[in-house]
């Protein structure tokens, strides 16, 4: 039973990904870039990787304030999007 659920989950994830790919492909490049930046700017800070990035920024830039490092990390998500 479990493998069936896993296959369904993978198929659902693939369908969502394909829908996003079609959406981004239909948009002009500046609009797709803005939408991607906005979306990942909202999703990224909720991911475990965000905490990792903040820890790495603290090691790389100990002189910067927490607010500055947070701003850098948020900018990173927007750029990746």
For the segment 37-55, the average pLDDT, to the nearest whole number, is 95
Is-contact 40 55, C-beta < 8 A? no
Segment 8-22 mean pLDDT: 95
The pTM of this model reads: 0.73
Residue 72: HSE in the Cβ half-sphere, 13 Å Cα cutoff? 15
pLDDT of residue 4: 86
CA atoms of 22 and 67, how far apart (whole Å): 36
pLDDT at residue number 1: 56
Segment 20-29 shows an average pLDDT of 95
Give the residue among 15, 50, 54, 21 at the shortest CA–CA distance from 35: 21
What is the C-alpha to C-alpha distance for residues 18 and 21, in angstroms, rounded to an integer? 5
With pLDDT > 70 as the criterion, what percentage of the chain qualifies?
A: 99
């Amino acid at each position: 039973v479990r493998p069936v659920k896993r296959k369904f989950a993978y198929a659902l994830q693939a369908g969502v990904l394909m829908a996003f790919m079609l959406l981004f492909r239909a948009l002009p490049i500046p609009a797709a870039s803005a939408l991607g930046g906005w979306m990942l700017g909202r999703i990224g800070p909720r991911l475990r990787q965000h905490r990792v990035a903040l820890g790495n920024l603290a090691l790389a830039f100990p002189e910067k304030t927490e607010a500055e490092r947070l701003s850098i990390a948020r900018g990173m998500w927007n750029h990746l999007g």
